[in-house]
Each structure stands twice: as structure tokens, then as C-alpha cells.
Structure 1
Amino acid sequence: KGKNNGGGIPLGYLLDKQTQKLVVDPETAPLVVEIFERYSEGATVRSIIEDFNSRGLTTKRGKPFNTNSFNALLKNRKYIGEYSYQDVVIPGGVPAIVPEDLFYRVQQRMEKNKRAPAHSKVKESEFLLTTKLFCGKCERMMVGESGKSHTGAMHYYYKCGNAKRKKGCNKKAVKKDWIERAIVRLTMERVLNEEKINRIIDALLAMQEREDVTIPALRRQLAETEKGIENMLNAIQQGIFTASTKQRLEELEKQKEELSLSMTTAELQKPKLTREYMEHWFSQFRYGDPNDREFQKRLIDTFVNAIFVYDDKLVLTYNYQHGTQTITLKEVEDFLGSDLVGLSPPHKNRDFDTLIRSHGSYFCAVIFRITVRVDACTHIISNQLRNAVYNRK
């Protein structure tokens, strides 16, 4: 039951020659979860393949990754513990590597992309503040719209949904380029500064210290089981060997194996991040190019929760506790008078650059699920990082 049926060994597993069953490979299992997490967070298959191949990583057969091998991996139900042979499917027949919720998020995205393939580049006409921009007068979501001038040039705006439908709101439309540029620059200036970053990192480090009790509990159970095995072996050495002794020893050995596997899986899913790693992750935003559309989208998606647009001010809510700020339009205009040039990046650390490429989406996930509802706005800096890529030793 659950023995390998002669097919290839998937990435993330090894074959136990004694039992002929698949076991988790602690060296490559983290790569599997990295692939699933990065894809679920929005990375394209092509970008992950290019990254893996640039890092010298290979398939189980020692070959470079390609689209076919990645698609097959993302659809492989062994990763959620399903063993199948011909028409027989046994849930839990192999050790799971990927959480079920993550696996099914990936399947949904693959199906969606199959029906409507996504564009790999962020278009200039894409409205980056969709679902985040609200009318300050009526609190209705502002939606993107476009129109041609008498010269034939295209112009893009955000307009209040009620004003657009003439439902009692007279809020004027806001130029798309102006508001997006303002939000990007304000976020880089007001959130990605040393004081705010340190505060967020402190919260994340504190969160890691409040981990659930799963791993300590498993560790205690494993220690107790090993102690039981030791006692049984001592009894056997003293000549106490009966059918009951043998049965109990076999039960303890099996329990030890199951606990060891559970603890390995739990530790893979609960990696620890250092302050230094977090600081380096933030630097990719702090020193990014504010004129780059891909960077603008990533920055907005990562840090901006909501923007309320009034006639004389903006109220911005960011994804961290007490992250609401008010700024007048006069201040915005004065601020945008400065050159739109990114800050100079710090000296690069190659080891950290590799970590960022490997685990960027993983860290992004940790940041975005410490959810704290403080008032009508939701302040989110979350621990999705907990469902993400494993930190390789």
C-alpha cells in the first residue's frame, strides 16, 4: 500500500529502498513549495524557470527546467499526499509536501490562465489602483476610464462610480498618471524609510516568537517516544522479550517514524527569518525605480491598502498597523516637483541577492498576513510568509 509503482520519482521526494515508498527529500522539498508559492503569488512559469535555471537547479533527471516539467509538477497531486495507481486513489498514501489550500489556489490560477493567458508586462494603460482608490465624498470605489481628445490622443482617468452613473456625487475625475505617480512616490518617501521599516520588522520578529505550539509539542512527543524505545531495548537486553514486547517496540518505532516526518514537514513550513534578511528584502522597494511600471505595480500591491481622494487632500491607508496618513493636494504637488529618480542602492551582497531571488515571494507572503483590524480600514501586514517558500539552510 503506497509503494512506488515504478514511475519516476517526483522532485521533492526520495525512494526508501527498504519500504519502496516515497519519503520527503529535505533538500529539494523546499524547492517544490517555492514553485507553488511563487506561482500562486503571481509569478509566471517562465520567470520561475529562468530563475531556477540561473541558479543551476535541475529536474530530478538532472536536466534544466522547462515549461512542460513545471506544468506537470504544478498538477502533480502527490504533493498533497495522494497516491494513485491505475484507477485506485489513496489520500494520504504518500507524505504531502504542499498544503492543500496552496495546491488548489495554483490549480485555479492555472485554469484561469488557460482560459485567458495573462500578459507578462504591465501595460502603460493598466490601472494600478483598481480596488484601492475611493471617492472621499461618497466613499464609492473609483474606476478607470479612458477617452480620446480632439487630437485623437488617449487620456486615462479614475472616476467615482456614483459620479459616473450620476447618482448624486459630483467628484471630478482624477488623472491616472498623476495619482499613480503620487502614490508611488509618497509610499517610497513615507513608508519605506528607516523608522517605519524597523517598526514593521520588529512586529514581524515578535510574531515569529509567538509561533504556535505544534513544533514544540511534536518535539516533546518524539523525545518521549525515543525514551520509550530506549526502555524497551533495555528490557530486551535484560532478557525480557515477549510477543507483547516485540509488538510494543514495533509500535514505538512506527510512531517515531511518523513523528519525525511530521516534525520535518512542520519545520519546513515554519522557517525563521532574520532581521538582516528582512532589511535586505525591503531594500528592493526602497531603492527601486519609481518610473518602472513593473516596480510601481509591485509596490502598490504590496504596501497600499486604500486611498480616499478628496477635493483638497488624500487619505492613504497602508498595510501596517496605524498606517493611515493624510496629505493635502498642495503638499502632493510640491512633493512631485522633485526629480522622479530612485535613491542609489546600497552595496550589493551577492548571497542576499540570491536569497531574494529564491525567496522573494516567500518573504512577501510573511509580510502580508499579520492582519490587524484597527478601525474601518483593514491594516494588513500579513504572515502569508507562513505558507510560502522554505528557507533553505
Structure 2
Amino acid sequence: MTKNAVIYARFSSDKQREESIDGQIRECRAFAEANEINIINTYIDRAMSARTDQRPSFLQMVKDSAKHLFDYVIVYQLDRFSRSRYDSAIYKHRLKKNGVKVLSAKENIKDDPSGILLESVIEGMAEYYSAELSQKVKRGMTENLLEGKWIGGIVPFGYELTSENKLAISPATGHLVSEIYNKCLSGVKTTDILSKLNSLGIKTQRGCNFTRNSLNRILKNQIYTGTFTWAGTSYPDYAPALITQEQYTAMQNLFESRKRKSNTARRVSPQYALTGKIYCGTCGLPMTGYCGKSHTGTTYYYYQCSSKNNKSEKAARSQIACDAKNISRDKLEKLVLDTTISILKNKDAVKCIADQCMTIQKAELEHKPAEQLRLESQIKEIEKRLKNSVKAVENGLISQTITNNIETYEKQLTELNAQLDGLKLETHIIPITEEAVIYYLNQLTERANKKDGYSLDTFDDFIRRVVVTGKRVDIYYNYTAVPNILENPAVKMLRGSSEDYLVTR
């Protein structure tokens, strides 16, 4: 099954131009095409810093990931996603919980090697640190729901907000919701409904033309019955009803019947854990997931060079005719998984990885953003002027100008110190000890002894790139090689398809 993705693009200052965004999107689309990923939306933040998470389109993208409409977020480079290591870990963790992975079009890695290991530790501990905050947020949202107040996000089509932050029927679009339900239930084709809405110039709440996805969001949203469900709890009479409960139930039954028919006809397509990281060593193009059936009806799953994919424009443009053979998905993923587990069960290797994390963290803690340096320099200059003015008064040189200057300097210092404190709070990094890193890595490997065992996704942050050349597999990790302890890449050999085992070179 073709995977869906969205593109996130950003430039950080007014000095950069719109062409910067166009270039990012162009490269992201090329990456998606090479990996047979379908782009369904693009999120753009202009003149926004990646040191902060206060980026409207970025936050909307994270929120939209909960709707499970896309599988990947593709960025030109990872610094477009975030330059704050803590923010990056938190938001990647949130996306991962929604089944979404971040892919880099140009780097094909998740970050610099040692830094990602630190990020992985933070990500693994993020749920623990956020538990109390989660409870507070939940309490606040519950209070708003009980009072019938909108809890945030895009207001559903057909509604508008009152001055009390409650949902009310929109005079312009409220009546359309019932009409949409009636047409769908009476058998009118989706394409005809979309054509009618768009021909009338009716826009979604995002100001876009209607698509099948935006229409389905209306047809699957229970809020139009007046009931809102959040965190497993239903709140009846939360909003004015635009349809009856019977209409809503009939519509969901229709969706379910379509889903059963679709599942019957659709070929099963498994997950390919190395998507976006696996490359053909023969021609350099990405490898993609592929499945097919033998004459006996058995389904086999492979990774194949994307030059062999239908409509591979990049291969056609470059006149690439690659003779690389398909690689068994299960054997290759097991080889990568076993190699990773072997590394993390080596105490000396874990100690080296922890040391690298501490080195990166020290640099992060010592690093001061340019804005912080500017504020500190400004504060130092104002303090010097204030000190000279006070000294002049102490020496008997009193004038209205000096008095006014003292008041101005004191006010400026108060404002600058407040800005500096706020910036430090925003860019604060939670320190992680070496013992915490080792404990976290050991906890990962201990899962191997449990009934459910490992999955390759567990170690996603450790693996940077996998290159397959014939039977040779080069596994590049997000750490720096250490002689006689950590190899990078780890070179393994994959036996032929007629054999059911793997050997290490």
C-alpha cells in the first residue's frame, strides 16, 4: 500500500526568500517520488526560528498527525524540523505515538550521530517527565468541556465561535452539513458532492477547496450530533446539533461496509521498517518495499532498488539500469536487528555510547543562542551606563537629564532581564546523567528476554543508513566509531535466498 506523507518547510528570517521554500518542497517531492510516497499536504512557516516550537503550521501539522491521515513528515533537512534537541525529541515522540515518522530528504539520517543517541534517551524518558503536566492539561481541558467551551484547534466546518468561546451554528455553512449527509446517504457520488461544493466557491475551515479527505472529516465527526468525545468521555449537548444521531449512525455503517469490501479486495502490504534509510550500493538510489506471490500462492516481501519501480523518473533521467537483486525483507531486517542488539549487549560499547552522549550534552548546555548573547551584551552595556550615572550623582553631579537616564536604564534592565529569563526557560535542556543513558540502553536490550521480543522500530534512532551491495550489508549507526569496540559501519553478509540463515562477515 502506498504510504502518505506531508512536507514541512520553513525559513528562519526575512532575509531568506520564497525560493528557499520552493527549493525545499522540490527536493522533498523528489525524495517522496523515489520512495513511492504520496504527498497529501504541505505545511509552511515563513520567517520562523526552529529554536522555538511556537510555529503555527508546525503545531498544526503535529495536531493533524492525530487524525492518522499520513505516515511520514518529510523535511529538506532536520534543522527545518527543529534546532532544539529537546523540542525535536518531544515532537518526534508525539508524532511516533500517532504512527508518523520524520524523514530527511537530503540527509537520510535523523541527526548528527552522537546527538541522536542523546535525543533517543530524552525521547524514552519524555513520557515520565510529562506525566504530571499531562494530568494538569487534562484537568484544564475537562473543565472547559464541562462548561461547553471549545478546547482549541480548527473549529469544525458549519460552526463558529461565540464571544464566550463556545460553538454556534454558522449562518453561512451550518445548513450544508445536513445536506452533505443526506446526499451521501441517498447514494450521490462523492465526486459529485465535491464538484458541487467547489463550484459554489465553498471552502473548508482551512480556506482550501474540498477534497475527499476534508469531506470524510465531516462525515466521521460525531460533534455534528451535538456530542463531543475526548479522552474516552462523551459530552452530550456540547454543541448545537446539525444532524440527527440516526444520520450519523447510518453514515458510519456505510463507511464500515465500504471498508469491509475494500479490505477483501486489497492486497496485504506489510510495514517496511527501513523505509527512508535503505539504499542500493550498486547505483545509489533508495530501496523500497515490494511484495509478490509465487506460483504456489505464497506471498514474499522484499526490498528492491527504486530504479526498478514503475514510472521511476529519476532512474529514467539518469539512465540508470541497475542489476541489483531483490533482498528478502525479513532476512535483512533480522540481520540489522540482531546486529543492533549485539552492540547494545556489549557493556564496553554501551559505555562508549554514553560517553558520546555526555560530550554532546556538555556542548549543548554550554551553547548560548545568538539571541541570548545579544541580550546579555545589551544588559552589560546598560548596567555600565547605569553605574556611571549613579556614580555621577554620588559625586555631586545632579541634573534632570541624569535622573531621567537612571529611570530609563532601570526600566530597560527590568525588561531585558525578563526577556533573558524567558529565553532561558524556552531553551532550557533537561540534563541527563551518564547512568541514565546506560540504564535506558540496558532497558531496551532487556526487552529481548520478554515474550513479545524486539522490533526493529525500537532501535530506529540508532540506525542512520543501510547500504546493500549484493550480499554485503553496511549498517551505519548514529555514533562515532571506537577502535575494537564500536564499528561504524558494521559490515555483515547476507546469504542467498535458498538458505534460511544469516552469517556475520
Quick check: 1:57 aligned with 2:210? no
Residue equivalent to 2:287:
142
Indicate if the aligned counterparts of 1:140 and 1:162 stay in contact, CA closer than 8 A. Answer: yes
Quick check: 1:173 aligned with 2:332? no
Indicate if the aligned counterparts of 1:288 and 1:295 stay in contact, CA closer than 8 A. Answer: no
1:168, CA displacement in angstroms? 3.8
Residue equivalent to 2:359:
206
1:145, CA displacement in angstroms? 1.0
Residue equivalent to 2:472:
313
Quick check: 1:184 aligned with 2:337? yes
The residue type paired with residue 406 of structure 2 is: L
1:192, CA displacement in angstroms? 6.2
The residue type paired with residue 39 of structure 1 is: Y
Indicate if the aligned counterparts of 2:276 and 2:286 stay in contact, CA closer than 8 A. Answer: yes
The residue type paired with residue 492 of structure 2 is: I
- Written as runs of structure 1 = structure 2, the 5 A alignment for 1:1-393 is 38-39=90-91, 42-44=95-97, 57-59=135-137, 62-64=140-142, 69=151, 71=153, 125-163=270-308, 168-190=321-343, 193-210=346-363, 211-214=366-369, 215=372, 218-219=375-376, 222=379, 225-226=382-383, 228-229=385-386, 232=389, 242-268=399-425, 269-271=427-429, 272-289=431-448, 295-300=455-460, 302-322=461-481, 323-329=488-494, 333=501
The residue type paired with residue 326 of structure 1 is: V
1:160, CA displacement in angstroms? 2.0
Larger-Rg structure: 2
1:126, CA displacement in angstroms? 1.2
Q: 1:321 to 1:196 in 2, by over 3 A?
A: same
Cα deviations by residue, 1:141-181 (Å, 9 ceiling, x for unpaired): 22111123445443221112335579643332112122112
Cα deviations by residue, 1:37-89 (Å, 9 ceiling, x for unpaired): 633552447999999566663239744599974647xxxxxxxxxxxxxxxxx
The residue type paired with residue 479 of structure 2 is: Y
The residue type paired with residue 212 of structure 1 is: H
Residue equivalent to 1:24:
none
| Number of equivalences | 259
Could you tell me how far apart the structure 2 residues matched to 1:280 and 1:326 are? 27
1:125, CA displacement in angstroms? 0.7
What secondary structure does 1:59 align onto? helix
1:326, CA displacement in angstroms? 0.9
Cα deviations by residue, 1:239-297 (Å, 9 ceiling, x for unpaired): 76543233322332233233323432442314244323333443453334599699522
Could you tell me how far apart the structure 2 residues matched to 1:216 and 1:308 are? 42
Indicate if the aligned counterparts of 2:294 and 2:300 stay in contact, CA closer than 8 A. Answer: yes
What's the TM-score, normalizing by structure 2? 0.41
Indicate if the aligned counterparts of 2:448 and 2:454 stay in contact, CA closer than 8 A. Answer: no
Could you tell me how far apart the structure 1 residues matched to 2:409 and 2:92 are? 39
What secondary structure does 1:139 align onto? coil
Q: 1:303 to 1:53 in 2, by over 3 A?
A: closer
The residue type paired with residue 243 of structure 1 is: Q
1:133, CA displacement in angstroms? 1.7
1:335, CA displacement in angstroms? 6.2
Structure 2 gap segments, 5+ residues each: 1-52, 54-84, 101-125, 155-205, 207-212, 218-267, 482-487
Could you tell me how far apart the structure 1 residues matched to 2:86 and 2:382 are? 32
Indicate if the aligned counterparts of 1:192 and 1:285 stay in contact, CA closer than 8 A. Answer: no
The residue type paired with residue 125 of structure 1 is: P
1:183, CA displacement in angstroms? 1.1
Q: 1:71 to 1:158 in 2, by over 3 A?
A: same
Q: 1:164 to 1:321 in 2, by over 3 A?
A: same
What's the TM-score, normalizing by structure 1? 0.50
Structure 1 gap segments, 5+ residues each: 1-11, 13-32, 73-106, 108-113, 118-122, 337-393
Q: Which moved more, 1:168-177 or 1:59-68?
A: 59-68
What secondary structure does 2:436 align onto? helix
Could you tell me how far apart the structure 1 residues matched to 2:352 and 2:395 are? 60
Determine what percentage of the aligned residue pairs are the same residue: 22
Indicate if the aligned counterparts of 1:313 and 1:328 stay in contact, CA closer than 8 A. Answer: yes
Indicate if the aligned counterparts of 1:193 and 1:286 stay in contact, CA closer than 8 A. Answer: no
Could you tell me how far apart the structure 1 residues matched to 2:87 and 2:374 are? 29
Higher RCO (CA 8 Å, separation ≥ 6 residues): 1
Could you tell me how far apart the structure 1 residues matched to 2:473 and 2:378 are? 55
Could you tell me how far apart the structure 2 residues matched to 1:297 and 1:61 are? 33
Q: Which moved more, 1:307-316 or 1:235-244?
A: 235-244
